[in-house]
Amino acid sequence: MLTKSTKREISGVLLLNKSTGITSHKALQIAKRLLNASKAGHTGTLDPIATGLLPVCFGEATKFTSALLGANKTYTATLQLGYISSTGDADGEISAAGSVNLTSKKIDLAIQNLTGKIMQIPPMYSALKHEGRPLYTYARKGVVIKRNPREITIYDLQVIAIKKNKIDITVTCSSGTYIRALAEDFGKVLGCGGAYVTSLNRNAIGGINLLNSYTLDIFKNMSLAKRESCLHPIDTLLKNLPAVFVNNIDSRRLLNGQTIIDVTLARKFKEGEKIRVYDNKKKLLGLGEIAKCGSITPKRLIAAESM
């Protein structure tokens, strides 16, 4: 008989639609408990105020959480114009920054200036480290640390609605982008003195979106068998990488940590390119990297007993 204390060796990916007011870590722990899973991790933190896609990985899938850390992300956000926040969102201390006088020309110019490769200064309320401590620990004490601008890429930025002094935007951006910092910059370029985020939803990470995702409330009300059926295959995390299939001999070599050679791959891929590797039965072996002359070096592999 399965009890609450039983830890199960299960592997897969749950596409969680996180609600507001809960940390990513707390959401992860609840999902882990509901599946009685022995091992779990997630692919990228959402602030408590933020909602949306939080892929939660179980078992062997935890080996590949880093595969999405550098992936592009898409968000929808509501910005309050003419005000700034100490945290960049509605949880901070709010102060007036300027008057709001929007025109189509101003909006088009702001989008143009903030699209493409731009420099962004990370906010103080962030998990970036300074002398081994997250910046937010300094910010909470009123200490401001100098942050160097970092290059990010805004692939797409659109205004989808305007409601008095608030605007709704969609953003597709590179890893490392802070929407709170983008919001403040957007407000400045619009001539409002700044802006802060009142709501934020993550719609997609890499090739994964909110389709077939579940809220914790829905997940809680399922039977254990139904919850487990909601898990996606491990290679869901690797969909943005090209796939390579190898024969039985090469499969065994890779699983033993050996490099295999296939000179035909040199014409298809660049040296250093990451790939997902399958055996000839289309079972995922793990993550590989193209080395010299088309050889494949194993990087992260699924344990043989889990296959």
Note whether 141 and 29 are same-domain residues: no
CATH number at residue 224: 3.30.2350.10
295 and 231 in one domain? no
What CATH number is attached to the domain comprising 249?
A: 2.30.130.10
For residues 78 and 154, what is the distance between their CA atoms, to the nearest angstrom? 17
Q: Are 97 and 171 within one domain?
A: yes
Shared-domain flag, residues 249 and 278: yes
Q: Is residue 4 part of a domain?
A: no
**Which range of residues forms the domain containing residue 201?**
73-205
Q: How far is CA 6 from CA 68, 205, 223, 225, 227, in A?
A: 30, 32, 16, 15, 16
Catalytic residue from among 47, 185, 235, 250: 47
Concerning whether 47 is annotated as a catalytic residue, the answer is yes
The pLDDT score that the predictor gives to residue 1 is 40
Per the structure, how many domains does the chain have? 3
pTM over 0.85: yes
Clarify whether residues 105 and 153 are in a common domain.
yes
The string of DSSP codes covering 145-199 is -----EEEEEEEEEEEEEETTEEEEEEEE-TT--HHHHHHHHHHHTTSS-EEEEE
Per residue of the chain (307 residues), give pLDDT as tens. 444 557 888 999 999 999 999 999 999 999 999 999 999 998 888 889 999 999 999 999 999 988 887 889 999 999 999 999 999 999 999 999 999 999 999 999 999 999 999 999 999 888 888 888 888 899 888 889 899 999 999 999 999 999 989 999 999 999 999 999 999 999 999 999 999 999 999 999 988 999 999 999 999 999 999 999 999 999 999 988 999 999 999 999 999 999 998 878 878 889 999 999 999 999 999 999 999 888 999 999 998 655 5
Whether residue 255 sits in one domain with residue 228: no
Whether residues 266 and 159 share a domain: the answer is no
**Do 82 and 231 sit in the same domain of this protein?**
no
